[in-house]
Amino acid sequence: MRIWKSLVLAALMSGVACIAMAEEVVLNAVHFTPTQNGYAQSFLKFVQKVNENGKGVVQINVRGGPEVIPPIQQGAALRNGLIDMIDTPAGQFLELVPEGEVFSASTETPWEVRENGGWDFISGIFEKKANAHLLAHVDAGSGFNIFTIDEPKLNDEGSIDWSSLKIRSSPLYRDFLESLGATVIVQAPGDVYTSLERGVVNANAYTVFGYASFGWDKFTKYRIDPQFFKTDVLISVNKAKWDALSPEAQKLLADTAVEYER
């Protein structure tokens, strides 16, 4: 009888331990730039904060960057549940959520957008169209510049001759650059180095933040001002995965996100 009771007790304790272990949820994540880039490094700092504070509750397992899922496919991968979390710009979601362009046009900080109700409004659209729960708008405030290999040519009016430029672009600002009269080639950041090296493009549109980490400054020696648009990098979670998290895990992620935005 004592042996039986001991076995029952051991089984119960084992069950309790399994339940405790099961409470910790692991979210698989990818980021849109190579790991050495400033945007990826920023995301990894966010992950570190979550993992430090979320032991026993929620952890983030970073699977990698564009080598795992190309940036332009990350939104669809999140929607379809192939990945739990992504760190990628709203500009990569445009086929799913064209309203995401609002982030690049905003002149307000992420916390101001939260306070005025804008965050809840746009989050609802992302949930409906992309099955995505928006967690944070990170690395906000940086504008985009155009960097050129050669000194920009001027037309008779003294303005830049945009027709002489073949500019690497993201989907976000493709239409804007085309409206200037430039030739535009949409590429993921990981492909730009080779394109600059081989002369496929002679200009590149990107932020100053994170630019040098790609090594692009080896080729581009000129910068066109002023800046245009604003960065729109979002940390998003698959909606079904988010809904399945415990309230404690949701609060920890949300609180860390709000803190990190600042």
pLDDT in tens, 174-219: 999 999 999 999 998 889 999 999 999 999 999 999 999 999 999 9
* pLDDT value of residue 22: 52
* pLDDT value of residue 19: 45
Dmax over CA atoms of the chain, in Å, equals 100
**Partners of 206 in beta bridges:** 145
pTM: 0.84
Span 152-161, mean pLDDT? 94
Task: Say whether pLDDT at 16 is over 80.
Answer: no
* pLDDT value of residue 190: 86
Task: Say whether pLDDT at 233 is over 60.
Answer: yes
- Phi first, then psi: give them for residue 233, nearest 5 degrees: -75, 125
Buried b (16+ CB within 10 A) or exposed e, 11-25: eeeeeeeeeeeeeeb
Q: How many CB atoms lie within 10 A of CB 78?
A: 29
Q: How many CB atoms lie within 10 A of CB 234?
A: 27
Q: Are strands 222-228 and 144-148 parallel, antiparallel or unpaired?
A: antiparallel
Question: Of the ranges 41-45, 104-108, 144-148, 157-161, which one carries the lowest mean pLDDT score?
Answer: 104-108
Span 66-70, mean pLDDT? 96
Q: How many CB atoms lie within 10 A of CB 258?
A: 15
* pLDDT value of residue 119: 96
* pLDDT value of residue 188: 87
Numbered ranges of CATH 3.40.190.10 in the chain: 144-228
Task: Say whether pLDDT at 6 is over 50.
Answer: no
Span 95-104, mean pLDDT? 93
- Phi first, then psi: give them for residue 13, nearest 5 degrees: -65, -40
Task: Say whether pLDDT at 7 is over 80.
Answer: no
Task: Say whether pLDDT at 151 is over 90.
Answer: yes
Span 33-57, mean pLDDT? 96
Task: Say whether pLDDT at 14 is over 90.
Answer: no
Contact of 232 with 91, CB cutoff 8 Å: yes
Burial class (CB in 10 A: 0-12, 13-18, 19+), 138: buried
Task: Say whether pLDDT at 122 is over 80.
Answer: yes
- Of the candidates 36, 39, 207, the one whose C-alpha atom is nearest the C-alpha of residue 136 is 39
What CATH topology corresponds to 2-141+232-261? D-Maltodextrin-Binding Protein; domain 2 (3.40.190)
Average pLDDT, the chain: 91
Numbered ranges of CATH 3.40.190.170 in the chain: 2-141+232-261
Contact of 149 with 250, CB cutoff 8 Å: no
Buried b (16+ CB within 10 A) or exposed e, 81-112: eebbbbbbbbbbbbebbeebbbbbebeeebee
The Cα–Cα gap between 15 and 5 comes to 15
- Of the candidates 108, 14, 29, the one whose C-alpha atom is nearest the C-alpha of residue 65 is 29
* pLDDT value of residue 78: 98
pLDDT bracket for residue 238 (50, 70, 90): very high
Task: Say whether pLDDT at 157 is over 80.
Answer: yes
Pick the CATH number of 144-228 from 1.10.10.10, 3.40.190.10, 3.40.50.2300, 3.40.50.720: 3.40.190.10
Q: Are strands 144-148 and 132-137 parallel, antiparallel or unpaired?
A: unpaired
What type of residue is 52? E
